[in-house]
Amino acid sequence: MFLNLLCKKRRLFSSVILLVLILAPAVAFALQKVKVKDIHYWSSPDYTRIAIELSEPVEFTKSRLSNPDRIFFDLKNASIAKEIAASLPVGDGILKSVRASQFTGETVRVVFDIEEISDLKCFLIESPSKLVIDLYGKGGQTGKAKPLTAKRRIVIDAGHGGHDPGAVGAQKLYEKDVVLDVALKVRKFLMKDPQNEVFLTRDTDVFIPLEQRTAFANRKNADLFVSIHANASPNRMAKGIETYLLNWTDDEEANKVAARENKISLRKMKALNKQFDILDVIKTDLMRENKRDESVKLANYIQKSLISNIEDCNEHLHDLGVKQALFYVLFGANMPSVLAEISFISNPDEEKLLSKESYKTDIAKSIADGINAYFKSVSPVQKVAKVNYRRP
């Protein structure tokens, strides 16, 4: 009888140990909190972007209170880093300040003390994880046409940079170097027209976070935003040129390109297409000022110019066309915006071409010609039109 009791206790003990081993990872995961690491902002009189740096994506809710006017975000299962300042003064006409604190043991509250806003958008990005909030002043989305004498403000974005090399070819050609060289040349060609005013998100080998690039274009009140990249694929025979605009897609290859540029897995990229909270933000963004239709037009002009001008020096050139995908670098852009993949650096032949100054010059001239052709196609005073947004 004693032996039977001892055996039962041993079996019970073994079962408890097994249950602990099974549940321990789940319990540890539940106890692990998202770390709120830092808060940054970029502002202008009509627009402010806030980026909350996180250790991983977070669930959140947002609410608004009056007297005084403030908006707050509650970040769930989160803890705040001790080194974060309790209050970040802004005072740009949109925000008075941003405050962050450990509201409860499980919740970090980030409060925006409002001066005056007309709209707010927010979305999550990954790698590294950030919650991005865009706030617009009363003049930020008025849709006022520019005067006839106004210059055309163009922002050219050279992808990657600094510690982020982008794609690397078999001969160790770095995407970050190629696209910077092309961007500098694009600026040179565009500046030949005195109507153009050109800004680069970077003109040296430095790293700039994706959300800061779009914020730069918005702060400059740009008319166009063009991000330049070199493509890559595990298939070394893949080649060609393609131009993207921001939109949903279920195209496998387009999602692979966006996943690489966003630095997330293909699985997460596909999940992003199903996150309707983010997509509602994009829907609102693209409807504003006929931006989607103008982005389509701009993408087609650039793609057509690239293909027609590059065929002579790349006899096996593939026209991959105009496509759409969810690129973080295009999120929140207030103007027509596109991303150009100017050749495959992973293809041995195209890597060799991308290393040649003459080819990069032809690419740059083609992009500039496409931009100038787009401007010639639109009215000197753009009318704001409402569009029916459509999902592909």
Residues 202/162, Cβ–Cβ less than 8 Å: no
Higher pLDDT, 205 or 19: 205
- Quote the pLDDT of residue 39: 95
Q: Once rounded to an integer, what is the mean pLDDT over residues 294-321?
A: 90
ω into residue 68 within 30 of 0, thus cis? yes
CATH class of 34-136: mainly beta
Question: Mean pLDDT of all residues in the chain?
Answer: 86
Q: What is the pLDDT of residues 18-28, one digit of tens each?
A: 444 444 444 44
Are the C-beta atoms of residues 207 and 158 closer than 8 Å to each other? Answer: no
- Phi and psi dihedrals of 380, rounded to 5? -55, -30
Domain with CATH 3.40.630.40 in the chain: 152-377
Specify the pLDDT at position 378: 85
Cα gap 347→350, rounded to integer Å:
5
Q: Which of 168-172, 245-249, 386-390 has the lowest mean pLDDT?
A: 386-390
- Do 138 and 45 touch, CB atoms closer than 8 A? no
Is the predicted pLDDT of residue 90 greater than 70, yes or no? yes
Pairing outcome for strands 319-325 and 241-246: parallel
pLDDT band of 127, cuts 50, 70, 90 = confident
Q: Tell whether the model's pLDDT for residue 228 goes beyond 90.
A: yes
Q: What is the pLDDT of residue 142?
A: 41
Instruction: Say what the pTM is.
Output: 0.85
Contacts of 383 (CB under 8 A, 6+ apart): 145
| 152-377 is a CATH 3.40.630.40 domain | yes
180-202 residue pLDDT tens: 999 999 999 999 999 999 999 99
Q: Where in the chain is the domain with CATH 2.60.40.3500?
A: 34-136
